[in-house]
Structure 1
Amino acid sequence: MSEVVTLGEAMACLRADGPINLGGGAHISVAGAEANVAIGLARLGHGVSFAGAVGPDRLGDLVRRTLRAEGVAVGALRTDPAPTGIVVFEQRMTGVTRVDYHRRASAGGTLSAGDVESAFALHPSPPRVLHVTGVTPALGPGPAQAVQAAVRLARSAGARVCLDVNHRARLWSESTARRTLTALAVQADIVVASEEELPLTGAGGGEAELVAGLLAAGVSEVVVKRGAAGASVVTTRETLHLPARPVTAVDPIGAGDAFVAGYLSGVLDGLPAAARLARGVTTGAFAVACHGDWEGLPTRSELDMLDLPDGSAVR
């Protein structure tokens, strides 16, 4: 049984060993915001189903195999005639990464409302949470309709909807993003955004006004990711903030997705807001401290490892 359903674009990922223009080697893996969250939740022991599309190629096989190996249900991951998309990461220096997408006319952009309806039909009972991001509706009309259909089905089934704004400025104009994301945000139960992304969820004003507007529209909790400064959550009853966990930063890519996985895990476990935030900043720290979008994400038994002193050996 899937506690969580998510949908989006899962891609093959090439991580260059050095500057790409000099040639050299690269590590092949899998990436995609929603796929990262799905893997993070599965490692924490939750049932997760991923809906999407990959190509009839070896890279599509890699995506499917990786998700399945990580415990993510892939019954709703369709094979499309279009090729699997590719994202290339070049860590130019510590803390600075170039990201180059090769997704035009790729399988991920063929996601449709029919895929989502098929995904929900696979489950005898509805999920507890639907997780969507602002990346998917930016991919085109079909993916945008898929997100809207997913939200509609989730709400009709009584599932909670989590929207991570996750804005990609290169995919669409700010005006289109604001219009689409504002409409999605007011249908969500949980809205997650960075400080820079929050203005895309409302009509204007500062952070306090934007958060108040979302809560007044029916959102139950607004979570603000603040990077190295930690994260905050605001509900109608309380406002809480936690600093980031201190770790040596190796690779910042995927930290936001890791945070969302931890936070949603806390939601599924019925934890209070402070404990949900604590789990989110913990999983985010694991991501920052390791190379890769999701490779370093913790299992449930590893959540306490950040509390160990330097030089500890876990035997």
Structure 2
Amino acid sequence: MFDIVTIGESMVVFNPTEIGPMRHCQTFRMQMAGAESNVAIGLARLGHSVSWCSRVGDDEFGKYIVNTLRAENVDVSMVRFDSDNRTGLMFKEERKKGLSNVYYYRNESAASKLSEFDIQRAWIRKARILHLTGITPALSESCRSAIFQAIKLAKEEGIPISFDLNMRTKLWEKDIAVSVLTSIMKECHYFLPSYQEGVLLSGIDSVKEMAEYFYQHGPRVVVIKKGAEGSYLLDQDGGRWIPPFRVEQVMDSIGAGDAFAAGFLSGILNGSTNEEATRRGNLLGAYSVSVKGDWEGLPSEKELSQIFTVEDAIR
């Protein structure tokens, strides 16, 4: 059995060792990134059992990704090595402290060839929660089919679905994105958009009205993430703001939403209330932006309690 199963693409990331335009950078560090695998690692470090499904190239980069996740205690039995397509790449550019740009080289990547045939009922059945993001269905039509197959099987098996919107307008046309992502949103139990993504999907600027709109369309728990302002939670007990945690210096904002998802889902899996789980998500998000890397600095349970306390919450 797994606490969480998740599906998506992970890429090899080349991180510059210096600040400034990438054309002037001479050296890079090789790392790994992917929204779903970031969440998987975050949950595994908090003591949860997680399985990740994907395709990677049958190349050194693919082997690096699988070995990295396996070393982080993430199950990779549902990963397929693709000898016909390469592992996707991403380059980061740090223009100044806390401000980064990313450049993707993922067209025709191995992960974009995921299909409904990669999703097995027996694997879905092992999960307590299926976690999805809006990135995977944007990669290709076959990826879209894989996600909807996973949703279908999860619904048939009574497995709740968590959906982090992660709306990437550069990957597909906005009208198609809105249609597909709205369809997924309607099927999920836990919906975790950022405020900016929520505006794109709903066309609504008010946080409270946006949350009501989403809640009326299917999700039983809606959490709208708004960075330094905290998160707005709407469930059967109504809507309320959950305060953020203080961060003295933002080191790297990329991956904060994934950290939030890991914290929130960890709370749900531990039997916390939705409010407690949202607070835990805020906590992990704050931790994430205070360290470098998408997942490298994500904490264990012991480390989390040592760094932040309840008194750090902004009230």
TM-score, structure 2 normalization:
0.92
Query: In structure 1, what is the equivalent of residue 251 of structure 2?
Result: 250
Distance 2:252 2:211 in 1: 30
Query: In structure 1, what is the equivalent of residue 241 of structure 2?
Result: 241
Distance 1:307 1:41 in 2: 18
1:16-95 equivalences in 2 (<5 Å): 16-18=16-18, 19=20, 20-81=22-83, 82-95=85-98
Query: In structure 2, what is the equivalent of residue 160 of structure 1?
Result: 160
Query: In structure 2, what is the equivalent of residue 194 of structure 1?
Result: 194
1:141-160 equivalences in 2 (<5 Å): 141-160=141-160
Q: How far apart are 1:169 and its partner, in Å?
A: 1.3
Q: Which stretch shifts more, 131-140 or 242-251?
A: 242-251
Residues 242, 212 of structure 1: alpha-carbon distance in 2 compared, 3 angstrom cutoff: closer
SS of residue matched to 1:251: coil
- Cα deviation, 1:247-290, whole Å, max 9, x if unaligned, reads 22101110110001000111111101221112111111121011
Query: In structure 1, what is the equivalent of residue 313 of structure 2?
Result: none
Q: How far apart are 1:65 and its partner, in Å?
A: 0.5
SS of residue matched to 1:222: strand
Residues 205, 93 of structure 1: alpha-carbon distance in 2 compared, 3 angstrom cutoff: closer
Distance 1:256 1:281 in 2: 9
What is the identity, as a one-letter code, of the residue corresponding to 1:112? S
What is the identity, as a one-letter code, of the residue corresponding to 1:32? G
Q: How far apart are 1:215 and its partner, in Å?
A: 2.2
Q: How far apart are 1:219 and its partner, in Å?
A: 1.2
Query: What number of residue pairs does the alignment pair up?
Result: 305
What is the identity, as a one-letter code, of the residue corresponding to 1:303? L
1:1-315 equivalences in 2 (<5 Å): 1-18=1-18, 19=20, 20-81=22-83, 82-117=85-120, 120-122=121-123, 125-202=125-202, 206-247=206-247, 248-307=249-308
Residues 291, 203 of structure 1: alpha-carbon distance in 2 compared, 3 angstrom cutoff: closer
Q: How far apart are 1:96 and its partner, in Å?
A: 1.1
SS of residue matched to 1:75: strand
Q: How far apart are 1:199 and its partner, in Å?
A: 3.6
Q: Report if aligned partners of 1:5, 1:49 keep a CA contact under 8 Å in 2.
A: yes
Q: Report if aligned partners of 1:86, 1:102 keep a CA contact under 8 Å in 2.
A: yes
- Cα deviation, 1:82-134, whole Å, max 9, x if unaligned, reads 110011111110121010001011111011111112xx4247x4311001011
What is the identity, as a one-letter code, of the residue corresponding to 1:158? G
Distance 2:168 2:56 in 1: 21
Q: Report if aligned partners of 2:211, 2:224 keep a CA contact under 8 Å in 1.
A: no
Residues 265, 293 of structure 1: alpha-carbon distance in 2 compared, 3 angstrom cutoff: same
- Cα deviation, 1:133-178, whole Å, max 9, x if unaligned, reads 1100110101111110111111111111011110111101111111
Q: Report if aligned partners of 1:126, 1:157 keep a CA contact under 8 Å in 2.
A: no
What is the identity, as a one-letter code, of the residue corresponding to 1:84? T
Distance 1:4 1:266 in 2: 13
Q: How far apart are 1:204 and its partner, in Å?
A: 5.7
**Structure 1: which 4+ aligned runs deviate by more than 4 Å?**
200-206
Q: Please provide the CA RMSD for this pair.
A: 1.6
TM-score, structure 1 normalization:
0.92
Q: Report if aligned partners of 1:182, 1:200 keep a CA contact under 8 Å in 2.
A: no
Distance 1:258 1:205 in 2: 25
Q: Report if aligned partners of 1:177, 1:200 keep a CA contact under 8 Å in 2.
A: no
Q: How far apart are 1:196 and its partner, in Å?
A: 1.5
